[in-house]
Each structure stands twice: as structure tokens, then as C-alpha cells.
Amino acid sequence: MNKTAAFASLLAALTLITSCTMTNPLLSESTLPYGAPQFDKIRPAHYMPAFEQAIAEAKADIDAITQNPEEPTFSNTIEALEHAGGLLSRVAGIFYNVKEADSSPELEEIAEKLSPMMTEYEMYVSLNEPLFLRIKAVHDAADEFELTTEQKRLLDKTYKGFVRSGALLSSEDKASYSKYSEELSLLILRFSKNALAAANGFKLNLTDEADLAGLPDYVVEMGAATARELGQEGWTFDLSAPSYSAFMKFSDRRDLREQLSTAYATKAVGGEFDNTEICRSIAELRIKISQLLGYDNYAAYVLEDRMAGSVQGVNEFLDKLLKPTLPVAKKELQTILAYAREHGFEGERLEAWDFSYWAEKYRAECFAIDDAMLKPYFRLEDCIDAVFGLAGKLYGISFEERSDIPGYHKDVHVYDVKDSDGKHLALFYADFFPRPSKRGGAWMTEFRGQSIRDGVEYRPFVSIVTNLSKPTGDTPALLTHGDLTTFLHEFGHSLHGMLAQGTYESLCGTNVNHDFVELPSQIMENWGFEKQFLKPFARHYQTGEEIPDEYIDKLIASQNYNAAYYQMRQLSFGLLDMAWHTLTALPETGTVEFEKAAMAPAMVLPSVPGGCQSTTFTHLFSGGYAAGYYSYKWAEVLEADAYSLFQQNGIFDPQTAASFRHNILEMGSREDEATIYRRFRGHDPEPEALLRKLGII
């Protein structure tokens, strides 16, 4: 190509990039306050061009580091790598979060096309030998640089991250690692897609009013609203959390409970959206990757970098909780069975579709309290004000709704979060209601994390996503008490992101060990059982009557109701997780049989015939908790111990709250998590703290 032609080609490319940048809201500078994402302008067609340009720019950033003629330093290598691919981080932070909360066939198709592109870029970085050599040079000469504690932490994590991603592998093994990683990313995508489709694929439509026996008015209204949305007659119930859990608790129709329970338990087991073989394929690839890296199994690989430290550490931890909990859980189950028999139940044992129903009836009689009594006092808008107010009382922050900043869906509300001195801290996106395009559950995430670059601080864009009951007719959105604690839980994660203080995004906010990340969320649930928190806002949505003291007293008295049973349920998930991820080769048994055997030591109820948790267990197979599900219980131990300090000093004590904010919420992973916990609490936590809190010992 001659010089004239080359110049013309370059000019054309620059013109195209400029044109794309001008018309693509993902590539142009945001005109919104704080540089917020321009969700009102973003369309599915914008994503692929944005990713293509962002990946090209990210590779150029990496090339600039590897081709730098200067000797490797912390600044020109480690810090430069931390900031590389800024556009890619921004575009990916928007796309993948929207796909989880408001998916569509177009976004799913884009995700499939993106999967090999993103994996190839990750391999371009993690298996880049010249890049690793520069990182290693800085790591080996660390003592020669005057690094801060935060910089040392970044250097150490960067070096270990590359080693754990195959940097020391031979060329042949790097090729295998790259191949396995690409296959794994595609399988994870298929798993997630199938899980969502399977959950959305079942609807229980009832047209006979007799089928509604036992259901409170709010559940009936929920079913009617769902039917109207689907253009159906009568009442429709689905597998989303508000619908499913309410029906299982209150329906007098055992046959319908069994039908719904079976549908829930067998999601993605066989049929069009079958995940049984995908579970095995994901597990097999994780075995190959971990063994390629020199580990016995995937759990050993993951846990090397966690607070628990090892497979043995996790197994011992689970065992310390399981042994004292199991006999108490069995006793709880026998109590419910005896109550059920006294009230007409004729079965020899309680099945999976019986427990919630009879447990709720016993709870209502024993403690004279149930969801139907409490829901009228927990109007969503009042709960939002109360949770925001709690953050204000503890940490001095405030929330101002911003109608000028768009969300990614009409149900999303955006808030400007400010510190006590008026300084902007974060944007907070709240997305509360279920829809077919949203995956089940509740979670917190970020569109942008906190960081400082070139002296400019970038504050985070944090999102909370839940599936709470919608308003129906003239009835506003009302929460169960469980919904309120879920809100508090995810809001705790949000505080961890919003209050982050640090230089490097990869060390800020929720970028901490998985067995530490649930501490800020789980500790927030405690306030949901405190009279001082509940009384000021819990008022009947129709009469304005303040929630009676006796209701709160009963709620507190019932706090540990069936605590051992629910702990065993979580422990069974932890055992399942470890069973999948301590494999060194695939078992001969299929997914359903393998799961049943893995969970058996912690099962107190018989499983649903043909049911399988694994096939929709996104935490393990597509959500980042592989070999880490134990961390929920690990964090419960932390929070039980941590909250005892609030109880000792006062649940709104400003000094305790300031210490928790500074030592936990602001700190991220700038220091070792065990160190920062000890700094707050003064000692290491013990499992006994949780067992005492739950009344098990």
C-alpha cells in the first residue's frame, strides 16, 4: 500500500471512530451529572461497536506498557495496568449489569457473541509474557520502591493474579488454559440463560376461586395482577420469590403446593433448558484449569486466596456449625410435624411442599404473628425512607432523588448520595420489582467503582436489584419482614460500595475476599429486629396506626424460629459447593444423584423427587461463588461478633458506627481483611458467636 492510500485508510478509520463516538452514547462523554450512564440513549445496537472499540483501546493500553523502553516501575507498569482498559470497564459495567436486570433476546445474543471476544482479551492480558515479566521485575524489586501499604497490596495482588491466571505456564499449557477458559465462559453463559428461561417458563394459572383457599388478600391480588399482565383469566402464580414463597406458605391446597414445589425444584432438569450436563461440563473445565495450574482441585485453587485458606479450613468450619446444629434442626422439624398432625395432617413425614405451610401456621399460632399481619406496616416508600434514614443516623449520609438522571428501566429510581458535609459520594440506582427480563433473587452491583486517577476522584455508581412485591390495584407495594431484611442486606453491600475510599478501583468497595464481602450486608439485617429502628416508620398504610409494640415483641421472639433448620439448609448448599469443586475427575453418577449424595449429611427434609438445586444454582455455576458458598456463613460469624459491639455500645452509637465505616466500609481490600476486622473488633471471631446468636448453644 502506498503512502497516499495508507493515509486515506487511516483517515477513514479515524472518521469512522469519530462518527461512532459522536452517535454512540457508550463511547461519547456523558453530559449527565457526575458522568452518569446515558441510559435514556443507550440501545442494544450500541453495545457491539462500543465493545469492539473498547477492546481495541484496552489492547493498545497493554501494548503501551509492554513496549515502554523504560525500566519497569510501579507507576509505569502496575499502576498503568490498573488503569488500562478504562473504556472497556465502563462499557462492560453497563452491559453485563443491565443484562442481569433487564435482559432481552437481543442482549442475550450480544452476550454470546461477546463471550469469546472478552475471553480472548482476558487471555491477551493474563498470558502476556512481556507484561508479566515487567510485573515480576517490579515484584522482585519491591523493596527498592518506596511504596505505600495500598500500593504494596496492589502489587502483591497483581502478581498473584497473573500467576493464578497461568503466567508461569508453558506455551503449550497457556494455549490449553486459554481454550478451557473460553469454553467455560460460553458454558456459564448458557447455564445462566437456561436458568432464567426455565424459571420464566412455568406459570400456575388458577381460574376456580376455591383453589385460592388459605391465601391472604395480598397474595390473591398479586396472582390477579400477574394474570392480567399475561392476558390470562383468574390468578397466576410463578416461580419468582414473592409469588412462590407466599403461595407455599399460605395455600391450603396441598396438591397445588406440590405442583409448584416440583416445578421449582426441577427447573432446568431435562427439557428445553436442561442444565444437568452443563453443570458437569463446567465442573470438568474447572478441574482441568485448576490442575493445569498445579492444584488438586478447583476449591484448592480458589481458597488459597480466601480468609478460610484451604479446603480443610472450609470443611472444618462447616463441620463446627453442622454438628451442633443438626440435632436442633431435627428437633425443630419434629415439632412442626407434631403440630401438623394435631391439625389434621395425615402423612408419615413432612415433604418439601409441606414445611413452609405448617411452619408458617405454627409460627402464627405460637408467636401470634405472620406476614399478613406485618405487611400493612411496611409500605415500600416508608421502608426506603427508613433505610436511608438509618444510613444517615449511622454514617451521616443523605439521599436525594434525581429525576434528571435516567435509569435503565422505568422502575429504576436514581439517588444522589451525599456525605454530612454535602460532598457527593455516589449515585444509587434502586430497582425493586420483578419482571420476566430480570433474574431472580436480589443483589448489589456497580456501574462504576470508586477510584482516583491523575488527581481526579471518580465516585461510584451503585445499583441495588431486588424482586419485591409490586403495587396491585389500590394497594401500594407492601413488604414482608423478610423483604425488609433482604433490602437491608443488599443496602449493606451498597454502603460498602458507596462509602469506598481509596486510589485503586480493584481494591475498593466490595472488591474484597468473598468470605468477607457479606459482613457489611449481613450486619445490616440486625436493625430489622430493633424496636428503635422499626417504631418510627412502620405505620399501617391505610390507617396510619403505628405498629403495635406487641407485634415487634413477637417478631423479635420469633427471630430464631427454625433457625437451626435454615442454617442446615445453608450448610447443605455449602456442602454441595465443596462437593462439586473438590472433584479431581467427574463422577460416574449424574448431576441429580451426585447432588443428593453431597447434600445428604445436612438434609433434614426429604428432597423433591427428580429435583436438583445445581441446575439453577447461579451462585456456583455462573455467579462467582464457586468454592465460596461457605462464605455466607463465614460472614454471619463475623457479623454476629461485630454487631455485638453495637449492642454493647448502643445500636446507633456514633463512635461504633464511625469505626465500622472507617475500618470496614471505607477500607475495601487496601489491607488484609483479617487485619482490618481485628482493628474494628479487637479480636478474631469464633463460630460460637453465631451459634449463640441463633440460640443453638
Q: Which three cell numbers stand for residue 421?
A: 458535609
C-alpha to C-alpha distance for 610 and 596, rounded to whole angstroms:
10
Radius of gyration, alpha carbons of the chain: 26
Cβ contact 504:150 at 8 Å: yes
Dihedral of the alpha carbons of 441, 445, 447, 452, in degrees to the nearest 10:
180
Distance of CA 381 to the CA centre of its chain: 23
Distance of CA 179 to the CA centre of its chain: 28
Catalytic residue annotation: 490
The CB density around residue 364, as the number of other CB atoms within 10 Å, is 18
Give the count of alpha carbons within 13 A of 68, CB side only.
Answer: 20
Q: For 436-548, where are the alpha helices, taking DSSP H only?
A: 481-498, 514-517, 519-524, 531-534
Contacts with 415 (C-beta within 8 Å, 6 or more apart), sequence order: 388, 399, 400, 401, 402, 427, 428, 429, 430
Cβ contact 75:83 at 8 Å: no
Give the count of alpha carbons within 13 A of 632, CB side only.
Answer: 18
C-alpha to C-alpha distance for 538 and 377, rounded to whole angstroms:
5
Cβ contact 261:173 at 8 Å: no
DSSP-assigned letter for residue 527: G
DSSP for 184-250 reads HHHHHHHHHHHHHHHHHT--EEE--GGGGTT--HHHHHHHHHHHHHHT-SSEEE-SSHHHHHHHHHH
Site of grid cell 410463578:
238
Counted residue by residue, the chain has a size of 697
Q: 379 - beta bridge partners? A: 478
C-alpha to C-alpha distance for 606 and 265, rounded to whole angstroms:
12
Q: For 71-147, where are the alpha helices, taking DSSP H only?
A: 80-83, 86-101, 105-126, 129-140
C-alpha to C-alpha distance for 266 and 478, rounded to whole angstroms:
30
C-alpha to C-alpha distance for 537 and 612, rounded to whole angstroms:
41
Q: Which three cell numbers stand for residue 648?
A: 454493647
Maximum Cα interatomic distance, the chain, rounded to a whole number of Å: 93
C-alpha to C-alpha distance for 21 and 318, rounded to whole angstroms:
52
C-alpha to C-alpha distance for 140 and 163, rounded to whole angstroms:
14
C-alpha to C-alpha distance for 617 and 619, rounded to whole angstroms:
5
Cβ contact 630:317 at 8 Å: yes
3-state DSSP helix/strand/coil % of the chain, to nearest 5: 60, 5, 35
Cβ contact 74:138 at 8 Å: yes
